Amino acid sequence: MSITQNMLNAMVQNNIEFVTTVPCKQLSGIIELLEKDERILHVPSNKEDEGMGLCAGAYMGGKRPCIIMQNTAIGVTINTLVTLIQYYRMPLPILISYRGEVGEKVQCQVEMAVHTKALLEQLKIPTYHFHEPKDANEFDGILNHTFMAKKPVAILTDANFWSSIS
Amino acid sequence: MIRADILKEIIPIISDKLVVSNIGLPSQELHMLDDQPTNFYMLGTMGLASSIGLGLALSQKETVIAIDGDGSVLTNFGTLPTIANNVANNFILLIIDNGSYGSTGDQPTYTGGKTSLAKVAEACGCDNVVECQASETKEILEAAIQGKKMTIIVSKCQSGNIPVPVIDIDPAVIRYRFMEEIKARN
């Protein structure tokens, strides 16, 4: 079974039933699998802060959420992360394509990559970085940890990770 | 009529419903007039009441009413296509459109000018969009609750605020008591 499918299975094992996405080229494979997966409600959003609002509602309605987005969206979501997700103590796994790392072809993506980890650290968001295929083995544990901690948690997935498993 | 007058009129029909209330004065007014564990007060994060409301409606069975404002919908326009394309028949979005940013000093919004939120909602694909005058809001909201169809109500009213105290409830407590109420009802 593919690592991408294993990651979706880990979401289901952790009772995630509501996932919102804003696409990224690196995330196209997992979004395609997600759309086909009847175990999870997929509600695409137009902007990532809107997506986090949907996730907050789903969580309060009893469905564990997850958001899948690009690292450029960290800029878009800082206020929502701080004044909604963290302020009301809600769990939210954030599966992030870490664009702008080694292997990147679009120069502009590097500009946000250099700020990505610093911003997450400033926001005190627990952050994990998948670089090698084996790193995905931790996904199940990270999701479990997120809902235990009731915090937003970032999982950065870089170009090397996605190109190694595709 | 101003927003607080509309709230006073609709409280008898929303008091026992799940309500997601917009940031600032709308939440503070609702909190002062009728604090309930079924109210989720937004203390920050302008624009997301409709998104939180939709996520909540898609995730459980009870009717959800999101009370939003024109300024907040303008800042999160992306919400309308998402609502249109993910129909939750237990969801009502009530936009109290007073043509101004009430919580920040009544600066005008574009809905007081050329922009019609009802037309935008329709263009985004939302069904059951109703624009009404403030005095009609209660009747239309009641019909929407009974109708069990996802409905967007744009209630046009005057700009203006009443003096209100700040909400001194810890956000985690607001969230916890709201979730406990939802659990008990589902």
Delineate the domains of chain B, giving CATH numbers in brackets: 3-185 (3.40.50.970)
Nearest CA in chain A to B76: A50
In this structure, what DSSP letter does residue B2 have? B
Q: Are strands B100-101 and B107-108 parallel, antiparallel or unpaired?
A: antiparallel
Question: pLDDT tens, A103-148?
Answer: 999 999 999 999 999 999 999 999 999 999 999 999 999 999 999 9
Q: What is the four-CA torsion angle of A154, A123, B39, B155, rounded to 10 degrees?
A: -90
Contacts of B48 in chain A (CB under 8 A): 49-50, 52-53, 56, 80, 84
Question: pLDDT tens, A33-43?
Answer: 999 999 999 99
Q: Which of A21, A35, A48, A60 to mutate to test the interface with B (most CBs of B within 10 A)?
A: A60
Contacts of B92 in chain A (CB under 8 A): none
Nearest CA in chain A to B46: A80
Per-residue pLDDT, averaged over B34-42, amounts to 98
pLDDT, mean over chain A: 97
Look at residue B131 and tell me whether its pLDDT is greater than 90: yes
Contact across the interface for A60 and B56, Cβ inside 8 Å: yes
| pLDDT score recorded for residue A166 | 77
The total of other beta-carbon atoms located within 10 Å of residue A115's CB is 15
Look at residue A15 and tell me whether its pLDDT is greater than 80: yes
| pLDDT score recorded for residue B14 | 98
Question: pLDDT tens, B46-60?
Answer: 999 999 999 999 999
DSSP annotation string for A77-91: HHHHIIIIIITTT--
Contacts of B44 in chain A (CB under 8 A): 79, 82-84, 87
Q: How many CB pairs under 8 A join A and B?
A: 117
User: Which segments of B35-132 does DSSP mark as H helices, in order?
Assistant: 49-57, 70-75, 79-85, 117-123
DSSP annotation string for B124-170: TT-SSEEEEEGGGHHHHHHHHHHHTS-EEEEEE-B----------S-
Q: Where are the domains of chain A?
A: 3-165
Contacts of B50 in chain A (CB under 8 A): 53
- A23 touching B (Cβ < 8 Å): no
Query: From the CA of B71, how many Å to the nearest CA of chain A?
Result: 15
| pLDDT score recorded for residue B103 | 86
Distances (CA, A) of A92 to A59, A81, A156, B62, B85: 9, 9, 14, 23, 23
Look at residue B101 and give its three-state secondary structure.
Answer: strand
Nearest CA in chain A to B48: A53
ipTM above 0.95, yes or no: yes
A24 band by pLDDT with thresholds 50, 70 and 90:
very high
Contact across the interface for B82 and A44, Cβ inside 8 Å: yes
Cα–Cα dist B90/B64, whole Å: 6
Nearest CA in chain B to A40: B59
How many residues are present in chain A?
Answer: 166
| pLDDT score recorded for residue B86 | 98
Percent of chain A scoring above 70 in pLDDT: 100
- A53 touching B (Cβ < 8 Å): yes
CATH 3.40.50.970 matches A3-165: yes
Cα–Cα dist A18/B58, whole Å: 9
Q: CA B148, B150, B155: angle at the middle one, nearest 5?
A: 110
Contacts of B175 in chain A (CB under 8 A): 60, 88-90
Phi/psi of residue B177, nearest 5 degrees: -70, -30
B102 band by pLDDT with thresholds 50, 70 and 90:
confident
Contact across the interface for A58 and B59, Cβ inside 8 Å: yes
Cα–Cα dist A34/B30, whole Å: 39
Query: From the CA of A21, how many Å to the nearest CA of chain B?
Result: 12
Distances (CA, A) of B1 to A18, A125, B12, B19, B101: 39, 45, 17, 21, 16
